[in-house]
Amino acid sequence: MSARLDSLDIHPLRNDLYNELHSRPFQVLPTPARVTQMAVMTTPEQREQQFRHLQELHRLMGHPVPEKEVGCFEHTFGSLRVRREMHMEFASYTFINLAAGDETPFTETGITPLPDGWLEQLTGTVIAAFHLEVRPATDGTEGDLGYVRKHFEGMRLIGSSPQEGAARVWGTFRLHSDGFGRFMVMNHHMSDSQLGRLTQRLMEIETYRLMSLLALPVAREITPSLNDMDGKLAVITRSLAENEDVDEEKLLAQLTNIAARIEAFRAHSTFRFSATRAYHQLVLTRLEELREDELSGHLTLTEFMTRRLTPAVKTCEAVSERLEDLSRRVDRASDMMRTRVELAIQSQNQQLLSSMDRRSKIQLMMQHTVEGFSVVAITYYLIGLLKFGLDSVYEAGVVFNKTLVLGIAIPVVMALVFLGVRVVHHHFIKMAKRQ
């Protein structure tokens, strides 16, 4: 008897984690078929509007309206299959026209069966939009090429034979006169499931490569500012290294300004550069999954991406690394500035202490001088008091020589006052040493 989980503590996300791997199943695509893929960058508010827009499509087509939004939604309206996938930055719409016949390629597309005016009301910013035509293969590669070339408006073709020759893939990675990109798949002997996986990879390659290039304008925009800050930082660092007599306050203001600008650029570009690396890695993974063979005289998708996309991504990575390097250099220059300021403060403190020491010595010398005067002054007042006392004794009838007694008392009183002042002075010195 199998164990039951009813009594165990089940993680609340367990079902979601199981279903996540099945949330975006591959398409099952017949031959022939016409597919249109659109990637629309959205905000959270626009996503809600897009879901209501999708509900409106169900009403127009006379189908039950979905009540809850999901990450991957798919529904078939007769000969039209609509798929909507939600991603971090964008929503992708895939429209598949299953009623494809022998009409000229790209005269009808995946969006042809949509109700008039519905697509025009889609909210968001379109970043990718392209048609994909699936056709049965003709006889041989040259037959495929002759059929394909006349449907790409004379543009240079890029093509390959993926999945060990099971199909031929053609494209230009350019916008055509209708504002859409174009791909054509000539199916030699692929099943509907294999064809669905192939077209899904092609659509992801095109969408992700455009998303990865969004950082390139940002990199080009901030590069002149980075050059300017790099030059200023080099001047500041050189002046600090050569111990020039500089205005520390002015240099500190310049460093603060450079650091603030760098942080502003990082806040503006860090996410975009990180997203570019992630999208580029997805493109490389999808290209590897194609397992392409070369068609004579034509670049494969992998060769084209390696030659064109990879340098653009490397440029973005170089600008991102340069931002980080500038930030570190500003930190080091700030440390040098702080060290310079601290040394200047220590020098000022030493000068202040030396000045205070000189003033203390002067005060001590003045104190010794004043002590001599104070001994005389105290002796003078004490002798005055003694004279009053002797006068009182003499008036009382005791006969003695007052002048002689006062003369003898003066040196005695002066010696006693001097000794008393010295005792007090040494007492304060001992107290200072104990502290």
Residue 309 class from Cβ within 10 Å (0-12 exposed, 13-18 middle, 19+ buried)? buried
Residue 434 has pLDDT above 70, yes or no: no
Say how far apart CA 422 and CA 364 lie, in whole Å.
14
Residue 68 to residues 51, 123, 150, 304, Cα–Cα distance (Å): 9, 19, 44, 41
Contacts of 410 (CB under 8 A, 6+ apart): 379, 383
Q: Which amino acid belongs to residue 305? A: M
CB 75 within 8 A of CB 59: no
How sure is the predictor about 317, in pLDDT bands with cuts at 50, 70 and 90?
very high
For residue 435, what pLDDT is reported? 57
| Angle of the 301-395 helix axis to the 248-290 helix axis, nearest 10 | 150
For residue 175, what pLDDT is reported? 94
344 compared with 219, residue with greater pLDDT: 219
> What tokens appear for 366 in the block?
């003045």
> What tokens appear for 270 in the block?
């860090």
180 compared with 239, residue with greater pLDDT: 180
Residue 170 to residues 145, 159, 234, 386, Cα–Cα distance (Å): 9, 4, 50, 128
371 compared with 118, residue with greater pLDDT: 118
13-29 pLDDT, tens digit per residue, is: 888 888 777 777 888 89
136-180 pLDDT, tens digit per residue, is: 887 655 556 777 888 898 899 998 889 888 888 999 999 999 999
Say how far apart CA 316 and CA 323 lie, in whole Å.
11
For residue 1, what pLDDT is reported? 44
Interval 231-240 mean pLDDT: 84
**Of the candidates 84, 83, 179, the residue with the CA atom closest to the CA atom of residue 131:** 179
pTM of the predicted protein model: 0.75
Residue 158 to residues 152, 164, 182, 297, 302, Cα–Cα distance (Å): 11, 17, 11, 9, 10
Say how far apart CA 70 and CA 78 lie, in whole Å.
22
